Structure 1
Amino acid sequence: MPGRATSPTRRRSTLRRSVALLRAFRHEQPDPPRFYTALARDSVEQLSGYADLDGALLLDVGGGPGYFRDAFTAAGARYVALDADVGELSGLGEMPPGTVLGSGMALPFRDASLDVCYSSNVLEHVSDPWLMAEEMLRVTRPGGTVFLSYTVWFGPWGGHETAPWHYLGGRRARARYRRKHGREPKNRYGESLFKVTVAEALEWSRRQDLADVVEVLPRYNPAWSWWLLRVPVVRELATWNLALVLRRR
């Protein structure tokens, strides 16, 4: 059945993979193709361990330019991208078919209409992140998969291009960037960047009643670091990106 992996072969993160991805993050703004191509390829490999992508109707919430489209389509998925910014969707040229403008907090799709609902590094950019998570569950059919990952605020890249000054506060980091560069950062704290923690995700995953939690993992960390999520303060500082994998009931 599309959207569900009956015999998952989950890719467990190695230290080599973690280092390669963290290096790629340094090129997000100066060399977007390098960064997004690497991330898209890794995303398909990781998601394939939880869902059968061949023939699956997949929604990428915050899909942005076509890097993820190319990777998921190559894996056999019927890909639909949603973004609130037409500039992001047309980043590689004109918007291709199957692109939708809309808000992640009010997805313009019917209940239980998708096999897979995926989102990577978007949750920290919406003002009500757990409303977006609930919307992703709503539009996913029973037995379908939701894969939701985001940048953890207290992690090393929590402030995005204002890091590591975000540790002194998001507004201070934003003001420092503006003074240094003479312009606002792309990710503006309080407008297009918000503080989302590991603790909030764990609490929401326990509170929601629409899906079974398949796995919660520090996405870019080596597999052996799963224990980090059990240590309250350490998990916030050492988790670069958190992923929630859920199976809709």
Structure 2
Amino acid sequence: MTDLDGALLLDVGGGPGYFREAFEARGATYVALDADVGELAGRGDPDARTIIGSGTALPVADGVLDVCYSSNVLEHVDRPWVMAEEMLRATRPGGTVFLSWTVWWGPWGGHETAPWHYLGGTYARRRYARRHGREPKNRFGESLYAVTVADGLRWLERQQGGEVVAVFPRYLPRWAWWVLRIPVLREVVTWNLVIVLRRRAEKV
């Protein structure tokens, strides 16, 4: 990881700040944002640099962030690519956007309802409720959505704000990037997809 001394970093969907110590150790000013107050208090009282807000409408001015980071959140957002565009908007030219998510057709795509999500998210949710007598935390259609590798690659092609730095399966060796070229295989083998962008300079 590179030095982040003095960088202003927003962790979108960061909950109570699980990555706070790691980023602050590199010199970043870390701010966590989450829409769920319960998640923000997951480690006790929220830190002072914590924001309650939506990833699809970031309460941040244009181009103020050095790094906009989001890990394992996109699949919980009903408009994931609106959130991705918001992250680009809030990042300064030359700044970094890091976005990763658990892909739907991977073995863990249904989260605690896996592997039954392969038979449909609604079926998996209902099955979980029957077996456990309660709804899963990650409820398909409400707090869990089918976000695929193909969705991410299509968004990359149409987005205009970022220069692609890297796209790779998070939990596979870097040499395994080639799996992203094979449509069906990539959806199953890519448990988690990472996209890293550098914010383009605004056109004059």
Q: Which of residues 110, 121, 135 in structure 2 aligns to 1:170?
A: 121
**Greater fraction of residues in strand:** 2
Q: Which of residues 37, 54, 73 in structure 2 aligns to 1:122?
A: 73
Q: Secondary structure at the match of 1:226?
A: helix
Q: Secondary structure at the match of 2:19?
A: helix
Runs of at least 4 residues of structure 1 off by over 6 A? none
2: CA distance, partners of 1:84 / 1:111: 20
2: CA distance, partners of 1:173 / 1:65: 28
Show the counterpart of 1:67. Answer: 18
1: CA distance, partners of 2:18 / 2:182: 35
User: For residue 103 of structure 1, what is the amino acid of its counterpart?
Assistant: S
* TM-score, structure 1 as length reference: 0.79
Show the counterpart of 1:27. Answer: none
What is the 5 A alignment of 1:69-84?
A: 69-84=20-35
Would you say how many aligned residue pairs link Structure 1 and Structure 2? 200
Show the counterpart of 1:238. Answer: 189
2: CA distance, partners of 1:56 / 1:150: 23
Q: Which of residues 126, 138, 149 in structure 2 aligns to 1:187?
A: 138
1: CA distance, partners of 2:21 / 2:38: 18
Measured against aligned partners, the alpha-carbon deviations of 1:138-175 in whole angstroms (never above 9, x if no partner) come to 00000000000000000010000000000000000000
8 Å Cα contact 2:96/2:199 also seen in 1: yes
User: For residue 5 of structure 2, what is the amino acid of its counterpart?
Assistant: D
Question: How far is the alpha carbon of 1:225 from its aligned partner?
Answer: 1.3
Measured against aligned partners, the alpha-carbon deviations of 1:9-59 in whole angstroms (never above 9, x if no partner) come to xxxxxxxxxxxxxxxxxxxxxxxxxxxxxxxxxxxxxxx25xx42211000
Which stretch has the larger CA shift, 167-176 or 62-71? 62-71
2: CA distance, partners of 1:119 / 1:97: 19
Aligned-pair identity (%): 73
Q: Which of residues 163, 166, 169 in structure 2 aligns to 1:215?
A: 166
Question: How far is the alpha carbon of 1:66 from its aligned partner?
Answer: 3.0
User: For residue 176 of structure 2, what is the amino acid of its counterpart?
Assistant: S
Show the counterpart of 2:100. Answer: 149
Show the counterpart of 2:6. Answer: 55
1: CA distance, partners of 2:92 / 2:173: 31
RMSD (Å), alpha carbons: 0.8
Measured against aligned partners, the alpha-carbon deviations of 1:184-207 in whole angstroms (never above 9, x if no partner) come to 000000000000010111110010
Q: Secondary structure at the match of 1:67?
A: coil
2: CA distance, partners of 1:53 / 1:170: 39
**Greater fraction of residues in helix:** 1
Gaps of 5+ in 2: none
